[in-house]
Amino acid sequence: MKVLLMGHPNVGKSVFFNRLTGSNAIESNYPGTTVDYTKGYMLLENKDVEVIDVPGIFSLEPKDRAEEVSVKMLEEEKDAIVVCVFDASKIERGLYLALEIIEKGYPVIIALNMWDVATDKNIAIDVKNLEKILGVPVIATTAISGEGIAEVVSRIGEASPVKIRNIIKNAGD
């Protein structure tokens, strides 16, 4: 089993990765910090699980060399569990990429990162409802303080592929 971190640039994937694996991936407050993949390991149920941090992408159509790295990684790791990291204050963008990945048939788990920023901006997200509609685990996180990371780890096992049809149906009612 492998875990792949995917998401837009500057949503906190590298912070997340460092928290999970104790590595030293570079974190900076500008999009495009990570330009190559980094691999690390975390302990899950007493097993070493490989975690991969990749450059941020906007969609599965890469615009530049850094994004190509991510898309290629996703294609190569067919059996990976994808942790989609969102910027909770810009949830629509995150959903776009997450849906694309779900459509490809990957088991997905969603981290609504930067939860603190969303709260500051008075954005309220109904996490339970979102989870019900999407059919995948959704967790509010604040990677810089570590909030929610443990829950993401404990629920990685729950991730399983979902059909886009079901999401459309759930969103309808």
Report d(CA 103, CA 173) in Å as an integer.
21
Among other proteins, Mg ion, ligand GTP, none, what does residue 103 contact (CB within 5–8 Å per kind)?
other proteins
Category of 47 on φ-ψ map: left (φ > 0), alpha (ψ -120 to 50) or beta: beta
CB 110 within 8 A of CB 139: yes
Among ligand GTP, other proteins, Mg ion, none, what does residue 70 contact (CB within 5–8 Å per kind)?
none
Report d(CA 140, CA 127) in Å as an integer.
7
Report d(CA 52, CA 38) in Å as an integer.
6
Q: Shortest Cβ distance from residue 27 to ligand GTP (Å)?
A: 4
With respect to ligand GTP, which residue has the nearer C-beta, 117 or 130?
A: 117
Binding mask 12-51 for Mg ion (x = CB under 5 A): -xx------------------xx-----------------
Task: Give the three-class secondary structure for 96.
Answer: helix
Amino acid 135 reads: G
Q: Which stretch binds other proteins (CB under 8 A): 42-50, 76-84, 93-101, 146-154?
A: 93-101
Q: Shortest Cβ distance from residue 58 to other proteins (Å)?
A: 10
List interacting residues with Mg ion (CB under 5 A): 13-14, 33-34
